[in-house]
Amino acid sequence: MNNKIGLYIHIPFCQEICSYCDFIKTNDHRISSINNYFEALLAEVVSKKKYFPDIDTIYIGGGTPNSVAISYLEKLLIILQDIHPREYTIETNSELYTPEQGDLFVKYGITRVSIGVQTFQKPLINLLNRFHNFSQVEMMMCDLRSKGINNINIDMILAIPTQTMGDLQEDIQKVLSLKPTHISYYSLILEEKTKMMWDIIHGKYQLIDEDLNYEMTKLVINSLQKNAYQHYEISNFALKGFVSQHNLKYWTYQQYLGLGQGACSLIDNQRITNTKVFSKYLKGEPPLVEVQDQMLAIEDEMIFGLRKMKGVNIKIINLKYQCDVLKLYPQLNNFIENHFLVYRNNILRLSKKGYYVANQIFEVFL
């Protein structure tokens, strides 16, 4: 297993707040707020320089990192330039992208760009409170490729309220026409304290029913696999050689360092969580530090491992923790007997039909 560390850096600023989003974010774009945040963030990054030699992936997420001025991003990238990761990702929105941002990415060695799209259907874009269009995404990808950044992920969502199979089919065709190296296609999850939750509670929309969600998911998987995208994780698809190296660290229970408001780390058997409160982060509130005990470690390894289509090596888990996973979680045997899980040659993985009830399987460990 790779013993290198993944570095995640959180930039919470967004131009607008998406109706479904429960990530840690703010649309406070006052200069004073951005100045204060980056001052605190850069101080935290500098304080972790001892980890720099062991970092081999960097992921700058949010929020919307490219919603802040280039000058702020450059201050951060300058500090990070002593790290030479094998994969270096930044999240973006296409309507905020400029060629100057692309030049900055190239200058400081960013190798992978993730573009938040979710859908190309105008009514659904409005419902999600987003502001892009297909041409903006297309032009951004063209500019990035002209600068030598060819590793591009597109984030998409299925099962959006009011979405039809026709809408989804058109979205799939459009995303395939852009030929990204990686596609993340998530089924919408209704999160508390979001505008979408409020709208659904008050009858403005209804969630997509389970049968339609199933058919939509099946359409996505079949369509992407037919076009050479490897389905390597529940919601992630990649052309050969382009799986997300950073995200694999989470799914294979490797160490990672999270910096910024609300960011989490798993370092030296400790789970470290920064405060989610913007004002407290600016004041330097110490993070919450918890020792990762054995049961939590097993739970995490199983849940994240089963998200991968390759599954989990039960023999390795049993040896590592001196346990018997199938006795520890006897409910797993029921899923095996009912063909939702496949257990063969020490590997436990989701079956094709198990993919659609994955969340029920994961509840075994919670």
Q: What is the pLDDT of residues 175-215, one digit of tens each?
A: 999 999 999 999 999 899 899 999 999 999 999 999 999 99
Q: What value does the mean pLDDT take over residues 163-175?
A: 98
360 occurs within a structural domain: yes
One domain for residues 49 and 123? yes
Looking at the predicted structure, is the pLDDT value of residue 291 above 60? Answer: yes
Q: Is residue 22 part of a domain?
A: yes
The CATH number given to whatever domain includes residue 178 is: 3.20.20.70
Q: What is the pLDDT of residue 3?
A: 82
Give the model's confidence band at 142: pLDDT under 50 very low, under 70 low, under 90 confident, else very high.
very high
pTM exceeding 0.85: yes
Q: Is residue 277 part of a domain?
A: no
Higher pLDDT, 49 or 2: 49
Same domain, residue pair 31 and 97: yes
Residue of 287, 278, 283 whose CA lies nearest to 25: 278
Number of domains in the chain: 2
Q: Are residues 106 and 229 in the same domain?
A: yes
Question: 6 pLDDT band (50/70/90 cuts)?
Answer: very high
**β-strand partners of 62:** 11
Residues 235 and 325 grouped into a single domain: no
Residue that is last in its domain, among 235, 250, 265: 250
φ, ψ (nearest 5 deg) of residue 182 = -150, 140
| Same domain assignment for residues 213 and 64 | yes
Last residue of a domain, one of 215, 250, 285: 250
- DSSP code for 22: -
Residue 356 has pLDDT above 80, yes or no: yes
* CA gap 64, 202 in Å, rounded: 29
> Is-contact 187 207, C-beta < 8 A?
no
Is residue 207 a part of any domain in this protein? yes
Say if 272 falls within a structural domain: no
Question: Which pLDDT score, from 0 to 100, does residue 308 have?
Answer: 97
**Mean pLDDT computed over every residue of the chain:** 96
Is residue 246 domain-shared with residue 310, that is, in the same domain? no
Instruction: Report the CATH number at residue 354.
Output: 1.10.10
Distance CA 267, CA 157 (A): 31
Answer for the pair 149, 106: CB distance below 8 angstroms, yes or no: yes
The rounded distance, in Å, linking the Cα atoms of 340 and 353 is: 6
How would you list the strands of the sheet with 288-291, edge to edge? 230-233, 236-238, 182-187, 151-158, 112-118, 87-92, 55-62, 5-11, 256-259, 264-267, 270-273, 288-291
268 lies in some domain: no
State the amino acid at position 268 in one-letter form. Answer: D
Provide the β-strand partners of residue 273. 264, 288
Same domain for 246 and 298, yes or no, is no
Specify whether 83 is located in the same domain as 227: yes
Q: Are residues 46 and 193 in the same domain?
A: yes
Examine the domain organization and report whether 240 and 333 are in the same domain.
Answer: no
End-to-end CA distance of the chain: 26
Residue 111, beta-bridge partner list: none
Q: Write out the residue range of the structural domain in which residue 327 sits.
A: 294-366
Token code pair at residue 121: 């259907």
Residue 64 counted as domain residue? yes
Give the model's confidence band at 2: pLDDT under 50 very low, under 70 low, under 90 confident, else very high.
low
In a domain, 342, yes or no: yes
Specify the pLDDT at position 1.
45
